[in-house]
Amino acid sequence: MKNIFILTGAGISAESGLKTFRDAGGLWEGHKVEDVATPGAFAVDPELVHHFYNMRREQLATVEPNAAHAALARLQEHFGEHLTLVTQNVDDLHERAGCRDVIHMHGELLKKRCASCEVVSPCTGSLTYDCVCANCGSEGRMRPHIVWFGEIPFFMDEIQEKLIEADVFIAIGTSGVVYPAAGFAEVAKHHGAKTIEVNLDGTEQSPLFDEHIIGKASETVPMLVERLR
């Protein structure tokens, strides 16, 4: 059986109603996303950063996975261990559609982490600065379990290993501007994978792909999944 590596980005969740980062100028209440999602921003104004993620957590509770998420769950059913699903998304829509072992390289909105003891725990409500860690008792140290700009994504060793083994590499709904994820297609291709890009448009990484499937993820991903099965 072939090894399939799938990388998803904000575009796969767009039709569920979650905004992508780089449309609408990438602005949130007048702030650039790059100015909110950083350790520096959190150090200077933790309440602003908590507010940003609290709003996103609230919004996540109001949306549902779409046909693209569901199709990837069917693909996983078919390929089992031979499918690696890495997402840059911090939402839980892959899981809610039935996917298992999703690799959240940029963290998860529904988890928090104590910056003192590093313990990760569930987070479904709002986070505030005065939140006390249930594990070590620290106050003011709880942060979203999110990889901010300037931080190193999670699971990079495992991802590198899977990229090398991949026979097919598929990028779905990602603009290909944020590294290291933006470099995955090149690594997989270099190690012999066929590369497929699924997006509404071309991206900066498009020249690296052998095949381009242009259109809405909710329509294109189910078709691609049928073909791969």
Binding of residue 65 to ligand APR (CB under 6 A): no
Residue from 124, 126, 135, 160 that binds Zn ion (CB under 5 A)?
135
Tell me if 110 sits within 8 A of 124, measured CB to CB: yes
Q: For residues 17 and 14, what is the distance between their CA atoms, to the nearest angstrom? A: 5
Is 106 an active-site residue?
yes
106 vs 162 by CB, closer to ligand APR: 106
Q: For residues 194 and 13, what is the distance between their CA atoms, to the nearest angstrom? A: 24
- Kindly identify the residues of this chain, within the stretch 86-125, that bind ligand APR according to CB under 6 A: 88, 106
| Residue 82's binding partner out of ligand APR, Zn ion, none, with CB under 5 to 8 Å set by partner kind | none
Tell me if 206 sits within 8 A of 214, measured CB to CB: no
Whether 53 has a binding-site annotation, put simply, is yes
Pairing of strands 107-114, 120-122: antiparallel
Binding of residue 154 to ligand APR (CB under 6 A): no
Question: Of these residues, 78, 106, 191, 212, which one is catalytic?
Answer: 106
Binding of residue 15 to ligand APR (CB under 6 A): yes
Question: Which DSSP string do the residues of 133-180 spell out, in sequence order?
Answer: PTTT--BS-EEEEE--TTSPPTTHHHHHHHHHH-SEEEEES--S-STT
Chain position carrying tokens 């549902």:
64
- Give which of 142, 113, 107, 110 is closest to 128, Cα–Cα: 142
- Kindly identify the residues of this chain, within the stretch 171-210, that bind ligand APR according to CB under 6 A: 173-175, 178, 199-201, 203
Question: Rounded to an integer, what is the distance from CA 184 to the centroid of its chain?
Answer: 14
Encoding tokens for residue 79?
């390929």
Binding of residue 60 to ligand APR (CB under 6 A): no
Residue from 55, 136, 177, 214 that binds Zn ion (CB under 5 A)?
136
Amino acid, res. 180 = P
Whether 123 has a binding-site annotation, put simply, is no
Amino acid, res. 95 = E
From the CB of residue 190, how many other CB atoms can be counted at a distance below 10 Å?
Answer: 11
Reduce the DSSP state of residue 145 to 3 states and report it. strand
Whether 201 has a binding-site annotation, put simply, is yes
| Catalytic residue ranges | 106
Binding-site entries: 9-28, 53, 56, 88-91, 114, 117, 131, 133, 136, 173-175, 199-201, 217
Q: Which residues bind Zn ion (CB under 5 A)?
A: 114, 116-117, 133, 135-136, 138
Q: Which residues bind ligand APR (CB under 6 A)?
A: 9-11, 14-15, 20-22, 33, 88, 106, 173-175, 178, 199-201, 203, 216-217
Binding-site entries for Zn(2+): 114, 117, 131, 133, 136
